[in-house]
Amino acid sequence: MDGGADTMVSSDGSTPDAELDSGSPADTSPPPDSGPAPECRVPSDCDDGIACTDDSCRSPSNTCNNTPNDALCSPGMTCQAGIGCTGTACDESPCRLLTPQCGCPTGEGCYLTSATGRSCLPAGTLVEGAACASDGACEPGHICAGFGVAACLRACRTDAECPGTTNLCLLNASDGVTKACTGTCDPIAQTGCPPGGSCGIAREDTGARRGLAFCSGLGGPGVQGSGCSDEDDCAAGYTCGGVCAKICRVGLSDCPTGTTCDATAEDIVVGSTTYNFCG
């Protein structure tokens, strides 16, 4: 027997592949780094355990997104990221019309939609006192109403819900229950009304016969002493009593030369101010 190393030969006379191995140890190093593992592949990978969030897996970044969705909470409650539904459930159905409102999702307000119906609609942006054409144009908690000129007025059921001491809960809304505050304006300075409006004074027909200042439409050209048949014939700041008479404050010099603030007529008290008419 030859004393050299034996060489295995296959049956066809070729040297097996094993004989071609250099004998180096196997390469066990890890493959090149391909980056961090993706955070998610499907939405279920992103469940944050909060019932009111919409869970999704962003593509192509494969990262999670958990978006709060108020619609998944009870009426009047909101969804807070990492917390869940918070707030107090609404005590009126389907929503509360008066301020503070409840029952509608973020970005919506409660509005009268019929004689007896209320619904959540996209929130209007017009502030109190602004001219309007519909309730839905006003900020939530307001009604588009007025005497001859429409403005966004605070919805109310009692005087206490109307801001200011001269603001009365008098204007009836379509549901027969809710009213609107009369608003506040200055009949002497003619401020506080929307464009196209003028500030007048009046008294309740019945009950306590409280005095109020209110916005109405612009009238005609009539000034002190001009003949008139109704308020529309007189200019802003005047009333009609057969002739146009200027609104005045009792005890002050608001009247044209030759006239005085007529103390013989019944005074109209609005807040702490006593009004009458020049004569």
8-state DSSP, 139: P
Is the Cβ–Cβ distance between 142 and 153 less than 8 Å?
Answer: yes
Distance CA 234, CA 227 (A): 9
Pairing of strands 273-277, 244-249: antiparallel
State pLDDT tens for residues 84-137. Answer: 887 667 888 889 999 999 989 889 999 998 777 899 999 999 999 899 999 999
Give 20's pLDDT tier (boundaries 50, 70, 90): very low
Q: What is the pTM of this model?
A: 0.63
Distance CA 93, CA 207 (A): 32
Share of the chain above pLDDT 90, in %: 51
Is the Cβ–Cβ distance between 224 and 217 less than 8 Å?
Answer: no
How does the average pLDDT of the chain come out, rounded?
A: 84
Is the Cβ–Cβ distance between 126 and 138 less than 8 Å?
Answer: yes
SS3 state of residue 153 = strand
- Tokens of residue 137, six digits: 């144009």
Distance CA 178, CA 51 (A): 36
Distance CA 11, CA 18 (A): 15
Give the amino acid at 194: P
Distance CA 16, CA 156 (A): 99
Is the Cβ–Cβ distance between 141 and 153 less than 8 Å?
Answer: no
Distance CA 182, CA 85 (A): 37
State pLDDT tens for residues 142-191. Answer: 999 888 889 999 999 999 999 887 889 988 877 777 899 988 899 999 99
* Distance spanning both ends of the chain, measured CA to CA: 149
CB atoms within 10 A of CB 24: 6
Q: What are the structural domain ranges in the chain?
A: 49-89, 90-181, 218-277
Determine the pLDDT at residue 242: 92
Determine the pLDDT at residue 208: 83
